[in-house]
Amino acid sequence: MNLSIGLKKIEVLMDLDFLFFTRLIFRFATVGLLGVGINFGLTYFQKENLKWNKYVANLNGFLIAICCNFLLNRFWTFNAQDQEVIPQIVRFCLIAASGALLNHYIVLMTHKYLKYNFYISKVFAVGFVFIWNLILHSTYTFKSINIY
């Protein structure tokens, strides 16, 4: 993605009215929290009730949560089902992976080198990555936003 185009899209996003932006943030955060619930809930159920290996249960819970997040963001948060789905999935996965790496890097740097408490480091990382994901999914993954 050309940097100037990306910056222009961010400017357009920032120019949107307050209600639109508030609704977008609410929906994006809601989908994220649902994803966390699905991830933890499925992992727990598969590990404790079905007696699956904890790593298999963890991976399966994570993958199902990611799929749910993609679908909810595509159809509800960004209302972007008018776009081709395969390129959208690829962009979504790339941004999700980069967000996970960025989260890990921020926690590592702020905890190990800046000596912040581990959980304070996680709060910084989660906040930063939330904004990172919101901006990139708004301007790249789900290019047309229509939540009215």
Q: Encode the chain (148 residues) as per-residue pLDDT tens digits.
A: 556 666 666 666 666 677 888 899 999 999 999 999 999 999 999 999 999 999 999 999 999 999 999 999 999 999 998 889 999 999 999 999 999 999 999 999 999 999 999 999 999 999 999 999 999 999 899 986 555 4
For position 14, what pLDDT does the model report? 63
Q: What is the pLDDT of residue 148?
A: 47
Ordered by start, the domain boundaries in the chain are: 17-141
* Residue 60 half-sphere exposure toward CB, CA atoms < 13 A: 14
Contact (CB, 8 A) for 80 and 139: no
